[in-house]
Structure 1
Amino acid sequence: MPVRKRLSPQESRAQALSAARDLLREEGVQAITLKAVAGRIGRTHANLLHHFGSVADLHRALADQIAHEVATQITSSIGQMRRGEKRMRDVVEGMFDAFIEQRVGELIAWVVLTRQRESLAPIMDAIAEVIRDIRSPDDARPLDQATLGLVLFAIGDSLAGVEVAEACGLPRSAARDMATEQVLAVLAGKKVVGQA
């Protein structure tokens, strides 16, 4: 029997999180169990329990990793937009695509439905970080409102955007069009639907 390479705690966690991400993409968040992840990386359930404590802690660590990667991507896109390299529509497209590819909406929905709301903390921290990173000292625009609308649009779109657009008789891109228009309106200080 081959001898398994001894990994540092950081390497073990990284390997487990990589396997958890693969499971998330391939089978959905319900497939991310300590047993399934351990089986993927050739470790024991006890080994993963040692590194994460519980499956909820594994979900939280995965949410943290994904949230910060997506936040970094969004902040980078906004920086490119400020330099004239991207339009707002490109930022919206990138965010919606990241939420779909990384299964962010599904991860958030699972955390909420399983009443593990404390696991949302990394995602909320990442959103707050985006607002801090993109706000310049002289910028009085309501970036928090623009971000709120954009994140909620992206979550909904990543969960059921195809089906809802089809039910409404609209193209798949309709939610992205609406999100772009709303963000531009909010940043321009214009009233949007539902705003007093």
Structure 2
Amino acid sequence: MSITLQTRKRLSPGESRAVAVAAARQLLRDEGVAAVTLKSVAGKIGRTHANLLHHFGSVAGLHRALAEDIAHTVSASITEAIGKRRRGEASERDVVDAMFDAFHAERVGELIGWIALTRQREALQPVVDTIAAIVEDFRASGDTRPMDRVTLGLVLMAIGDSLAGSEVAAASGLGREAVREDAVGLIKGIVGQA
């Protein structure tokens, strides 16, 4: 799918940002986080580097907007899986699969690693806010189990898996599914059997 604009049509600031974030997301998926630069995104959407500077302020601003966009997608996927689990329509493994699949598809580990290594910690705020919202949702629903610990463990496992899961699993002599099985074990170990 191409994000390239066909004409130099004038877009609203919100539309310009959305098109740029969509292009950044596609670059992240296709080429990795190092490809997500103001210049590459501008070229992909037929705008100038200066135009993106106007909308994002810096590449860190673009990365933050990208992290926010991805955090919304990942959060929606996880929240849906948690809702199904609460209604008895899904298992712990379904929740783990939803989380790990979303992190893998969106290359969350790579984005978080890049943001951390380039010391753009403020760009992690949308991810932090999403995690806090998931934990707060458990509390608001009256769940007294230590879901904060479960969430912490699952998020860290999913980040690592999305970053280098296949390589680490192969080096360990295990299949890629082993970490997901361990994630289910983490849930059951902290909160007990359902």
Determine the structure 2 residue equivalent to 1:187. Answer: 191
Determine the structure 2 residue equivalent to 1:25. Answer: 29
How far apart are residue 184 of structure 1 and its match?
1.7
How far apart are residue 138 of structure 1 and its match?
3.0
Q: More displaced, 7-16 or 162-171?
A: 162-171
1:173 maps to 2:177:
yes
1:137-172 Cα offsets, whole Å, 9 max, x none, are 532100100000000110111111111111111111
Aligned pair partner of 2:105 in 101, 105, 114: 101
Determine the structure 2 residue equivalent to 1:192. Answer: none
Aligned pair partner of 2:86 in 57, 82, 88: 82
Aligned CA distance change for structure 1 residues 11 and 179 (closer, same or farther; 3 Å): same
RMSD: 1.4
Q: Give the secondary structure class of the aligned counterpart of 2:144.
A: coil
Determine the structure 2 residue equivalent to 1:193. Answer: none
1:147 maps to 2:151:
yes
1:16 maps to 2:20:
yes
Structure 2: how far apart are the matches of 1:179 and 1:171?
A: 14
Aligned pair partner of 2:128 in 121, 124, 128: 124
Q: More displaced, 101-110 or 137-146?
A: 137-146
How far apart are residue 32 of structure 1 and its match?
0.6
Q: Give the secondary structure class of the aligned counterpart of 2:103.
A: helix
Q: Assess if the C-alpha contact under 8 Å between 1:78 and 1:134 holds in 2.
A: no
How far apart are residue 135 of structure 1 and its match?
2.9
Structure 2: how far apart are the matches of 1:166 and 1:4?
A: 48
Q: Assess if the C-alpha contact under 8 Å between 1:34 and 1:48 holds in 2.
A: yes
Aligned CA distance change for structure 1 residues 6 and 126 (closer, same or farther; 3 Å): same
- Tell me the TM-score normalized by structure 2: 0.93
Q: Give the secondary structure class of the aligned counterpart of 1:84.
A: coil
Q: More displaced, 66-75 or 5-14?
A: 66-75
How far apart are residue 44 of structure 1 and its match?
0.8
Q: Assess if the C-alpha contact under 8 Å between 1:99 and 1:154 holds in 2.
A: yes
The percentage of aligned residue pairs carrying the same residue is: 63
Consecutive unaligned residues in structure 1, runs of 5 or more:
190-196
Q: Give the secondary structure class of the aligned counterpart of 2:89.
A: coil
Determine the structure 1 residue equivalent to 2:73. Answer: 69
Structure 2: how far apart are the matches of 1:22 and 1:161?
A: 21
How far apart are residue 3 of structure 1 and its match?
5.7
Determine the structure 1 residue equivalent to 2:64. Answer: 60
Consecutive unaligned residues in structure 2, runs of 5 or more:
1-5
Q: Assess if the C-alpha contact under 8 Å between 1:75 and 1:134 holds in 2.
A: no
- Tell me the TM-score normalized by structure 1: 0.92
